[in-house]
Structure 1
C-alpha cells in the first residue's frame, strides 16, 4: 500500500512564515521619507553635545522650580473654582 503523507498545519504555516519574513519590506524612518519627498539634506538629530554635571544640575533646578510654580498655579486655580462652585451650590440649595 502506498501511504500519502500530507503536510499538516504546522508545516504549511511555518512555510508561510518563512516566505513572509523573506519578502518583508524594509521600514523607512520619517526622516528618510521627508528627505525623499522634499529633497532636504537633513541628517538625523545631529552631533551629540556633552553637558557637564554643573550644567545638568542647573537644568534640574530650573525644571524643579518651574514644576513647583506650575503646580502651585494649578492648585490655586482649582481651589478658586471649587470655592466658587461650593458658594453657588449652597446659594441655590439653601
Structure 2
C-alpha cells in the first residue's frame, strides 16, 4: 500500500531532521542539560504521534540511535575525529543511523 510507504518515508525524514537538530544542539550548546532534555523529547515522540507500526518503530529506532550518539558525545567517549572533521560531518554522523569511521 502506497500510504504505508509514504508514512514510513515521512517518519524517517522526521527522525533524520530531529537527529540533525540534536546534532546542532550538541555542537553549539554549552549546557548538557539542554541536550539531555532534547534527547528525552526525541525518545517520547514516537509514542505521541499517530503512526502505524512500521513507521512508529522506525521513528523510535532512529531517534534512539541519535540520542545514543548524543550521549556518546556528552560522555566524551565519541571518537576525537568526530568533532575535528567539522560541523557538517558531525551533523551527517547524527543524520545517519549507521555508525561509520571518521578519519581526520
TM surpasses 0.5: no
Q: Given the two structures, how large is their TM-score scaled by the length of structure 2?
A: 0.28
**Structure with bigger RCO (C-alpha 8 Å, 6+ apart):** 2
Q: Given the two structures, how large is their TM-score scaled by the length of structure 1?
A: 0.31
Which has the greater radius of gyration? 1
